[in-house]
Amino acid sequence: MTTYSGYTSATAKSLLLDAGAFFKNFGVGVDTFASAVTAGKLLGATAGGGTFSAVPTIRKIEVDGVKGAAKGLESIDEWVVTITSNIKEIKKETLQTALASGTIDTSTDANYDIITANNYIALTDYIDNITWIGKLSGTNDPVVIQIYNALATGGIALTVADKAEAALPVTFTGHYDDAALDTPPFKIYYPKAIVNSAVVDSATFSKASPTDRVFTITTSGSAVCGGVRLGTASLVSSQFTLGSGAVTIEKEYLGTLTNGAQVFTLLMDKGNDITAPTITVGA
């Protein structure tokens, strides 16, 4: 019996994996994941991940004689753009952000920082962007989703219980900018398909006549190799050399390997990691 499915060889390269992480004021092309964490832009650890939603309100234009939806007779009245992060790590800054107009008083009380809210929204309460960063299978580059001029619009609803930790769902709504009224306040950065591959100068290695083995890398983008792995073990710097578009596996290291097929993985900074051509080690 014929099976019909949308599953193809490309499916495994197009899956969004795991919960990712949420940041405040992340600069695409400026920040990296690590630098944004160091800079304190991370909203905090989450439980249950979160959601992104960009929903248009579409109005059907009714015309006499047209008995249903008709191509071209629809208009977008508004976009509702939100990101919700289920934050497990309840910091004072998180509570302040969740209150939209929150402030932190650090001087009045010797023992406590006091978090309060205001009865108005100031322009300074809007956050330049709230950003979700997540992993896309088949590439080392993340998917990045940003909403702009974000404001926490759901307030605070903390649920606490025995044998459990509180989680704070914070919903941020994106807002139009007066200089970009034709652009809904979100962007999705989807990694370009960078394909990396490699060839080896020789598929065999002789311990009796040892020579280095060189993998030459071809990439459709500007990917660079940053490390090498054999199985689950990462090679140390003395065991290989990184060059421009090439990786050399040192003969001294190859001579220590068990005879037989050895498959190295070249760890790339963009696109796919490379399962390198097999090198067969012999006496």
The amino acid sitting at 106 is T
How confident is the model at residue 58, as a pLDDT? Answer: 96
Residues 6 or more apart whose Cβ sits within 8 Å of residue 140: 268, 269, 270, 271, 272, 273
What is the bridge-based pairing of β-strands 46-60 and 16-24?
A: unpaired
What's the DSSP call for residue 125? Answer: G
Closest CA to 10 of 138, 135, 134, 136: 138
- For residue 143 the two structure tokens come to 């998917």
Name the DSSP letter for residue 56.
E
- Nearest CA to 237 among 252, 224, 227? 227
123 burial (CB, 10 Å; 0-12 / 13-18 / 19+) is exposed
Strand partners, 130: 24, 147
Which residue spans within the chain are E strands per DSSP?
A: 16-24, 46-60, 74-87, 103-105, 114-116, 127-136, 142-152, 168-173, 186-189, 196-200, 204-206, 213-219, 225-230, 233-234, 240-243, 246-249, 260-262, 264-268, 274-275, 279-282
Q: Where are the alpha helices (DSSP H) in the chain?
A: 33-38, 92-98, 251-254
> Quick one: pLDDT at residue 17?
87
**What string of pLDDT tens digits covers the 283 residues of the chain?**
899 999 987 888 788 889 999 999 999 999 999 999 999 999 999 999 999 999 999 999 999 999 999 999 999 999 999 999 999 999 999 999 999 999 999 999 999 999 999 999 999 999 999 999 999 887 878 999 999 999 999 999 988 889 989 889 999 999 999 999 999 999 999 988 888 999 999 999 999 999 999 999 999 888 899 999 999 999 999 999 999 899 999 999 999 999 999 999 999 988 889 999 999 999 8
**Per-residue confidence (pLDDT) for residue 19, from 0 to 100:** 93
pLDDT of residue 260: 95
Give residue 131's pLDDT: 98
The verdict on pTM exceeding 0.85 is no
Task: Report the pLDDT value the prediction gives residue 30, as an integer from 0 to 100.
Answer: 95
DSSP annotation of 28 reads T
pLDDT score recorded for residue 269: 87
